[in-house]
Amino acid sequence: MSAAPGAAASTLSERSASCAAGEGLEPARRELEAIWARGREFLGTELAVMGGAMTWVSERNLVAAIANAGGFGVIACGAMSPDLLSAEIAGTAALTARPFGVNLITMHPQLLELIDVCGHHHVGHIVLAGGIPTREAIARIARGGARVLCFAPALALARKLVRLGADAIVIEGSEAGGHTGPVSTAVLAQEVLPHLRQVPVFAAGGIGRGEAILSYLEMGASGVQLGTRFVCAHESIAHPRFKQAFIRAAARDAVLSVQLDPRFSVIPVRALANAGTERFLATQRQVIDRFARGELTQKDAQLEIEHFWAGALRRAVIDGDVETGSLMAGQSVGLVTREQSTAEILDELVGQALAVLAGRRGPRPPHGETPGSRDSAG
């Protein structure tokens, strides 16, 4: 929803102001606020931290929790109909008075109607994902009064999207969970951030600690987007077995889907390897063999491969089928070690960034302590 910049002010500072003053962190806090001021102003939040839109996970409860804790939650529309999206926006607005956005898939057959739904509810920010949006879609969002964020996997495309009317860009690296591109966040940041200054740029993919957030801000990012870190928030409706899979996983367990034959494309998806992953490889082999024997046309073979994961994400997130469901996760999953409240996660991230800034001004705190975190705040 739209809100004036600063509408979410004091959320984090109220939780840890006394700690910051007591440990001399106020200069570091002011420095951090200055570094990500552009992102905060653009989002209208205290923290320039966006929640990545994760289908079935980024619904009203988690989105509102992120917003209420000072960040910027984003509803994952996915395949929702206009009516379902309208209900989800209304449900989220009933849980928070602070700004939040909506992520729309550009390939959705009712994209323009979904944009109109967002306009009806006065959503202030719309994130377009899943492909290059049309000029018409961007213009329609602008006419409705919302700001447009678009994903760009390269500098040239980022510049094109800005020319089309994008108000901000998200650069998401291959470390991210779900559908992802081929280039790492670290490389994208070096390619894009020094050369794209016209609009705010948010870094995403593989970010799981405050030190990493600070590094991208100092490279020129206006803010960041995190998804995987929020999956195990108390407010997340993900099934307990889904959360436990994340808590047990290491970074190397989040792997990209494998394509066995270049004639049959497989959209790269990063997820935790499980029995379903092995079945997907076996299914590809069987389909390719049937195609070779003339039992399937190339089109039918491609459809069988594409339909393998249909419904698999919902089975994992909602039903807890962690064996054959799709466990979409970014490589930062290795940094998810326990369930926490959304506020604790954000406090921890900010505390880690503040520790770096404070350490530059004087002696560093004892190893493992993160000034400004909930623990040090008492």
* Separation of alpha carbons 58 and 77, rounded Å: 9
CA 357 to chain CA centroid, Å, is: 25
Strands 201-204 and 223-226: parallel
User: What six digits make up the tokens of 198?
Assistant: 């016209």
Q: Do residues 34 and 353 make contact, with C-beta atoms less than 8 angstroms apart?
A: no
Both tokens assigned to 79: 């395949």
Q: What pLDDT score was predicted for residue 267?
A: 84
d(CA 312, CA 277): 11
Can you tell me whether residue 308 is helix, strand or coil?
A: coil
Sign of CA dihedral 55, 228, 180, 214: positive
**DSSP alpha helix (H) spans, 78-184:** 82-93, 111-120, 135-143, 155-164
Token readout for 215 is: 């590094």
How far, in Å, CA of 100 to CA of 157, rounded?
Answer: 26
Which element (helix H / strand E) includes 313?
helix 312-317
pTM for the model stands at 0.89
- Cα–Cα distance for residue pair 371/374, rounded to 1 Å: 9
Outline where 184-260 has alpha helix (H): 185-192, 210-219, 240-248
Per-residue pLDDT at 181: 87
For residue 183, which of 194, 196, 172, 192 has the smallest C-alpha distance? 172
Q: Could you tell me the CA-to-CA distances from 252 to 173, 203, 210, 256, 334 in Å, in that order?
A: 16, 21, 21, 10, 8
Q: What domains can you pick out in the chain, each with its CATH number?
A: 11-226+340-361 (3.20.20.70), 240-333 (no CATH)
Contact 144, 122 (CB under 8 A): no
Residues 123, 102 contacting (CB under 8 angstroms): yes
Q: Find residue 51's DSSP bridge partners.
A: 226
- Cβ 44 vs Cβ 2: under 8 Å: yes
Both tokens assigned to 243: 């959360």
The Cα 175–Cα 204 span in angstroms is: 9
What does the pLDDT read at residue 315?
A: 96
Per run of 10 residues, the mean pLDDT along the chain (length 378 residues) is 44 52 78 97 98 97 98 97 98 98 96 98 97 95 97 97 98 95 95 97 98 98 98 98 98 95 91 95 95 95 91 96 97 98 98 95 59 43
Cα(67)–Cα(47) distance, integer angstroms:
9
Q: What is the pLDDT of residue 13?
A: 53
Angle between helices 342-361 and 60-68 (to 10 degrees): 30
Instruction: Give φ, ψ of 188 to 5 degrees.
Output: -60, -40
Q: Cα(67)–Cα(372) distance, rounded to whole angstroms?
A: 19
